[in-house]
Amino acid sequence: MSMPLLGEKVPAFRAKTTHGIINFPDDYKGKWVVLFSHPGDFTPVCTTEFVAFQRRIDEFRKLNTELIGLSIDQVYSHIKWIEWIKEKLNTEITFPVIADDRGQIAELLGMIHPSKGSNTVRAVFIIDPDGVLRALLYYPQELGRNMDEILRMVKGLQVNDQHKVALPANWPNNEIIGDQVIVPTASDVETASKRLKEYTCYDWWFCHKKI
């Protein structure tokens, strides 16, 4: 099993999807991508996840972010399941779903964990506009994902890119500094001494600001 590491380019691949053939990452240049795997079509937890992703798709797209699903199922199964979701749950799935029926992409990205079975686990890859892996989450098959946390991660990574700051726990609702962000720690004596005058600080190594 291989797995791309944080800060590395995600391996390129060509895949059949419910929206036709895609070439990744070339077809998504300039966009953020949330690429996620699910264990299988016509399963209860995965169904709830697809509905949850779809109902937040406008929020993702406001962040210049596209969703791509994946499982080791044939495209015909994906299409029928998506039809079922639309008919029974009144939700039309508008993002593409990769039909990785031979498991090659799942193997390439480390989405199959043998001790959890032969299907993909619930992996989430957050990929930036340059095709670089910025965050990686793995959930077991028995635990559905929190879509609001995935949205928060995309927002936080974009804030980091724009402002070169760090984000505290539970941002933007941190228990200590609320929605403020953390200024990078000073790396020399002169900068450390200036920090207390330039920002609100608990100490020179813990300064924060509004953005």
Helices (H), 64-180: 75-89, 104-109, 147-163
Active site residues: 46
Q: Amino acid identity, residue 131?
A: G
**Gap between the Cα atoms of 25 and 43, Å rounded:** 28
* Bridge partner residues of 137 (DSSP): 124
**Gap between the Cα atoms of 25 and 68, Å rounded:** 12
Q: Is the peptide bond before 172 cis (omega within 30 degrees of 0)?
A: yes
84 Ramachandran zone, left/alpha/beta (phi>0; psi -120 to 50) = alpha
Can you read off the two tokens belonging to residue 130?
């340059």
Q: Amino acid identity, residue 175?
A: E
Tell whether the torsion through CA atoms of 79, 88, 59 and 169 is positive or negative. Answer: negative
